[in-house]
A and B are shown apart, each in its own frame.
Chain A
């Protein structure tokens, strides 16, 4: 641990820096809660403001912050995997497959195209496709529950699409990671093949031994379970990383493998840890973006946001229509999906080692920020003319 090895003066500085960042983020999270928006875009803005040449210089704590950010991604993906039970995955796959494929082509396509137009290499263009493809499950489900839409008839269409996207990421992320590593076409093909086999093996093991694993984990106390799940996630992610398969996807698959009571308990226990480290991840991601880099990517980001908001709108419209939902419901489903978020940032972070790395990060951040404003605003607008449901929620304060 760099932090422990540092002199006490450095440790003191590190504590104060990390603490100051955390306190700043708590205010942002509070503000986000008040306004009713996701905290992710605010974290990104905070990172931009405090980053290169910013107000706080975090050179001492950087090692620690970087590791926490990495763990943040893993926990983010772990809790996404924990969201779904095997039954839900099956039903989501069945009813979400066709819209899911339409979604992939319509939304990843423009990203890849813009990447090539910008003169980027194939791996970079494919990463940009990933950034524009996947809607933010976090933002979408927050908006759905804030606007009292969980019970609406178009909501299953939206949720099934999210399941499909999250699962598609289990294949996309390792492939993209392999492409980024690069090398000769033969090497790349081999890495991609290893990645896919590794994912298949982890999924297979998860399906075969998931129940046994869940049962053996369920006997311990909360503390035991937290440590076991946390450790398992890091080990699987580390092994996946060694095979050049993205570590994030290892964590996602651990989440999928857990089922039943352990799944719910683990989700609750991991929640606070994830919130903390994921916040660090988002801030740290935009930390390394020089705000000056945002200027040249602003126009492409706006064009990309406009095009992919339209294609996402079409996807949502189509998915809702398939369920026989009326026009107003189609508007709601179409607009709620526009927001991109955590996966887009995870994908953008993958490209850090590429030549286009800084550009991908800047474009990704700008793009996510735009869609995170446009999406929730557009979907509130889709509710115009009707009052949002009279909601009685004893838990909401």
Chain B
């Protein structure tokens, strides 16, 4: 197999960013372990979640990263399932990124669950098929297997054999079901109107796609030192001709989706929908999410600067932050109205993550970052098939 992209020599800026990334990952690892000491010594008492706000920052982090993995697989599938060859030059990076973000998500979830190891035997032996969470587990596990399998094949240079194609299709199909069942974990909760709705899987689909695209904008530009001169012609073509409009389109759709959700919430008479939405809209974070994290990057993607690597990097970073805020608002927002608590809690519940919870996020993200950096150094992520 040819390594056409590797024929471009890596200049100093690339290795500097690569080293910075490893450094950031290492610092994150140390900080994360330091904070996770709370988890080892006090267990989940060191979380600020409680019997009223049961799912906090670590669950929002899980949702964010596994949906990012979903989005990266969508982009890889453009080439490997739908035959859009222009995306081959970034496909291997997308698959490895999908693995790294999936691992990150599962670490965040694993450190949040009370008895994570027990899952290994109680989930397969009890077949709780009425639970959306059971299906989510089944599909994300299948997806993880197919994704790693596909990467191993691609890493051996097998892009287009029958087996490789089938595994690629299976990873795409399982991740469609995986994100949809994750959406249903929230969307099927009729007792929580803030989450409820059959369209939640669609909302997750579009935001997942945007999340994956934003990571591509950030990470691939960083991989090439935020300079398109370092890219091969085909990577440059993918990143300048195809990615900006797709990214902009997804961003526009998510902006519309976010605004319609907001307006519906503000307009609604249902207290469980209206009251938390009114509260959220009044926060700095919501305003930052909309204006800095969505409107500004959308304006950048509509401007003539959209092909500029540094602009793309910035837009990717801003969208990632906005989506993270959005996941947090969604997960925590659905729990702000106290569930049948009367005057014990006569206002919205208050929750702010503890240091340990932030530590879990930093630890998971650092491991993901180091995993990606390892791939970038050792696994020839620039590979693409021979034409």
**Same complex origin of A and B:** no
Interface residues of A (CB under 8 A from B): none
Instruction: Mark B residues whose CB is within 8 Å of A.
Output: none
